[in-house]
């Protein structure tokens, strides 16, 4: 698996799993809509890669670092109390959901 910035041969997919493509598309959308700046994301991603040097070689580790950077970028958009409330809603929903069923947090309103 090679990072998406590196062109893949025609017989090799650009992403090894759908979640990798989704993470990349989400970052592209957030940059295109001005929600995050590309240079700020690059700095966060570089920091995540430095924390796990093996991730720089591509593969799953590369995208785990990518998602970690994306999480940090998105977390900066919401106040900490909103993030805490969201985390708690998901925790409660997970605890109340039978195994094998979709987890759906309750939303006020």
Longest dimension (CA), the chain: 50
Per-residue pLDDT at 18 exceeds 70: yes
- Pairwise CA distance, residues 24 & 47, whole Å: 17
The pLDDT assigned to 29 comes to 96
The pLDDT assigned to 5 comes to 60
The pLDDT assigned to 71 comes to 93
pLDDT by residue (tens digit) across 19-60? 999 999 999 999 999 999 999 999 999 999 999 888 877 788
- The count of other CB atoms within 10 Å of the CB of residue 56 is 14
- Pairwise CA distance, residues 62 & 107, whole Å: 34
Per-residue pLDDT at 107 exceeds 80: no
Q: Which helix (H) or strand (E) holds 36?
A: none
């Amino acid at each position: 698996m090679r990072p998406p910035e590196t062109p893949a041969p025609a017989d090799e997919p650009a992403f090894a799993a759908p979640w990798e493509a989704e993470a990349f598309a989400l970052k592209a959308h957030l940059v295109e809509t001005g929600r995050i700046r590309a240079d700020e994301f690059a700095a966060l991603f570089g920091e995540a890669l430095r924390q796990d040097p093996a991730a720089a070689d591509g593969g799953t580790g590369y995208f785990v670092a990518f998602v970690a950077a994306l999480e940090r970028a998105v977390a900066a958009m919401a106040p900490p109390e909103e993030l805490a409330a969201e985390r708690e809603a998901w925790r409660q929903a997970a605890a109340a959901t039978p195994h094998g069923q979709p987890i759906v947090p309750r939303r006020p309103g």
